[in-house]
């Protein structure tokens, strides 16, 4: 018993010492999507402040491919010392595991959730040449012209993909899916009118819509956005329809809990700062996360189950 207590005290002391010394070199934050997208923009904002807080370089590396799998896998296989982190959307935890039968990792076991940084306010945007200006008009056209309309996503298994498949399931419409490797690759296609519609966070489309280069059709949130009270929700035309998604940080499983707690506290400090909120809340309509690590883990597991049921209802096959 005495030796066990000594070992426990030593382990705690060692972990505390590691946390106090962290980081002792460059920290890499992996963005598993294409550069230029919303995940990279937020990751860089957080990385810049963490670099100032920690006094060490914090860099963001974009590693897109296979619907975020390549980037996530690189983090899973990294040393569990806090110097390689993952910044991704919730689909990496909640959607991809249900549709990728060859996933080389289990995100619920191989990643340690660190922080829910921001909840997303998704909207449905359409090309100016799309033959509709509202959800009822879109559904009417899709029903009269099966597979004539297209919707883009940032990859098979992304929340945009499943959200649109779920909408198709609820409405019985046939709309073709066109996957890309990142939202920055979709926008030029939408502007050119080669894609009918795309669902993503409002910040992706807002300036283009204000400039008259595309149109925002509806919000995919449960309630109307406070910043856009005149924008209808999809649920107003399709009762019961809404989606939620978020951006968050994770570390490789096995990272010492005391180190996870330190990184979590520092991230939460950064996202609570007025400078972060002025950009991502006031201007980009996100909701800053406020969950502790224990509640975040519960949320990840609950949403993993929920999206699995959603995927089943939408009839999205495993690949």
Could you tell me the CATH number of the domain that includes residue 141? 3.40.190.10
Do both 111 and 190 map to the same domain?
Answer: no
13-51 confidence digits (pLDDT tens): 455 655 678 999 999 999 999 898 889 999 999 999 999
Assess if residue 66 is contained within a domain: yes
pLDDT band, very low/low/confident/very high, at 310 (cuts 50, 70, 90): confident
Last residue of a domain, one of 213, 236, 259: 236
Tell me what percent of the residues of the chain surpass a pLDDT of 70.
Answer: 94
Assess if residue 45 is contained within a domain: yes
Could you tell me the CATH number of the domain that includes residue 28? 3.40.190.150
Task: Tell whether the model's pLDDT for residue 10 goes beyond 90.
Answer: no
Do both 280 and 310 map to the same domain?
Answer: yes
Do both 98 and 133 map to the same domain?
Answer: no
Do both 53 and 87 map to the same domain?
Answer: yes
Do both 212 and 258 map to the same domain?
Answer: no
pLDDT band, very low/low/confident/very high, at 7 (cuts 50, 70, 90): very low
181-240 confidence digits (pLDDT tens): 877 789 999 999 999 999 988 888 989 999 999 999 999 988 898 778 999 999 999 999
Assess if residue 211 is contained within a domain: yes
Task: Tell whether the model's pLDDT for residue 11 goes beyond 60.
Answer: no
Do both 208 and 271 map to the same domain?
Answer: no
Q: In the predicted model, what is the mean pLDDT of the chain?
A: 90
Assess if residue 319 is contained within a domain: no
Do both 143 and 161 map to the same domain?
Answer: yes
Last residue of a domain, one of 219, 236, 253: 236
Q: What is the pTM of this model?
A: 0.75
Q: Provide the number of structural domains found in the chain.
A: 2
Do both 199 and 171 map to the same domain?
Answer: yes
Do both 103 and 249 map to the same domain?
Answer: yes
pLDDT at position 1: 52
pLDDT at position 13: 47
Task: Name the residue range of residue 211's domain.
Answer: 122-236
Assess if residue 204 is contained within a domain: yes
pLDDT band, very low/low/confident/very high, at 2 (cuts 50, 70, 90): very low
Task: Tell whether the model's pLDDT for residue 138 goes beyond 90.
Answer: yes
pLDDT at position 318: 79
Last residue of a domain, one of 203, 236, 269: 236
DSSP output for the chain: -HHHHHHHHHHHHHHHHHHHH--SS-EEEEE-S-TTSHHHHHHHHHHHHHHHHHTS-EEEEE---GGGHHHHHHHHTS-SSSSEEEEEETHHHHTHHHH-TT-SS-HHHHEEEEEEEEE--EEEEEETTSS-SSHHHHHHHHHHSTT-SEEEESSTTSHHHHHHHHHHHHHT---EEEE-S-HHHHHHHHHTTSSSEEEEEHHHHHHHHHTTSEEEEEE-SSS--TT-TTSPBGGGTSTT-----EEEEEEETT--HHHHHHHHHHHHHHHTSHHHHHHHTTTT--EE----HHHHHHHHHHHHHHHHHHHHHHTPPP-
Do both 19 and 168 map to the same domain?
Answer: no
């Amino acid at each position: 018993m005495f030796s066990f207590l000594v070992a426990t005290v030593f382990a705690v002391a060692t972990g505390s010492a590691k946390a106090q010394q962290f980081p002792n070199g460059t920290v890499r934050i992996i963005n598993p999507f294409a550069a230029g997208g919303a995940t990279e923009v937020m990751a860089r904002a957080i990385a810049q402040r963490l670099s100032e807080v920690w006094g060490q370089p914090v860099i963001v590396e974009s590693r897109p491919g296979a619907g975020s799998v390549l980037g996530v896998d690189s983090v899973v296989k990294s040393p569990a010392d806090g110097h390689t982190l993952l910044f991704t959307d919730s689909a990496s935890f909640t959607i991809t595991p249900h549709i990728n039968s060859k996933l080389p990792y289990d995100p619920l076991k191989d990643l340690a959730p660190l922080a829910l940084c921001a909840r997303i306010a998704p909207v449905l945007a359409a090309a100016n040449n799309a033959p509709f200006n509202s959800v009822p008009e879109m559904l009417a056209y899709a029903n009269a012209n099966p597979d004539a309309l297209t919707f883009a996503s940032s990859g098979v298994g992304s929340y945009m993909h499943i959200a649109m498949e779920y909408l198709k399931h609820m409405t019985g419409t046939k709309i073709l899916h066109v996957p890309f490797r990142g939202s920055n690759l979709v926008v030029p296609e939408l502007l050119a009118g080669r894609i009918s519609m795309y669902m993503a966070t409002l910040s992706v489309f807002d300036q283009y819509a204000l400039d008259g280069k595309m149109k925002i059709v509806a919000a995919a949130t449960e309630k109307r956005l406070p910043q856009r009270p005149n924008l209808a929700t999809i649920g107003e035309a399709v009762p019961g329809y809404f989606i939620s998604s978020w951006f968050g940080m994770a570390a490789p499983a096995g990272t010492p809990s005391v180190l996870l707690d330190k990184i979590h506290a520092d991230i939460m400090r950064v996202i609570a700062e007025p400078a972060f909120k002025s950009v991502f809340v006031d201007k980009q309509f996100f909701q800053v996360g406020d969950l502790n690590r224990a509640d975040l883990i519960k949320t990840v597991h609950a949403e993993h189950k929920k999206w699995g049921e959603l995927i089943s209802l939408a009839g999205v096959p495993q690949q």
